[in-house]
Amino acid sequence: MPMAQLLEAAGVFQPEEMALLTRVFVATCRKLENNCDREQRASRIIANYQLGIRDEAELIELSRQPLGR
C-alpha cells in the first residue's frame, strides 16, 4: 500500500504533515526493499508521528532502526 493510502487510512493529516511523513519515508528507502518492508516502514513512521514525534531527523533515525528497539 503506498504511503499516501496509509496516511489516509491512519486519520486526517494536514498537507504539511503529509509532506513531512512523505519526506521521512523517501529518506529511509532501502535498496531491495519489498512491498511488505515498505508498508511496515510507512506504518512505523506514522505510528511514531502519532506518538508525538514531530522532528524530521528523529523520525528518520527511528525509522532506520531495526524493529523491536
CA distances from 10 to 4, 5, 37, 49 (A): 10, 9, 18, 11
Mean pLDDT of the chain: 86
Tell me the CB-side half-sphere exposure of residue 17, using CA atoms within 13 A: 15
Residue matched to cell numbers 503529509: 18
pLDDT digits (tens, 9 = 90+) for 12-39: 788 899 899 999 999 999 888 899 988 8
Q: The whole model's pTM is what?
A: 0.79
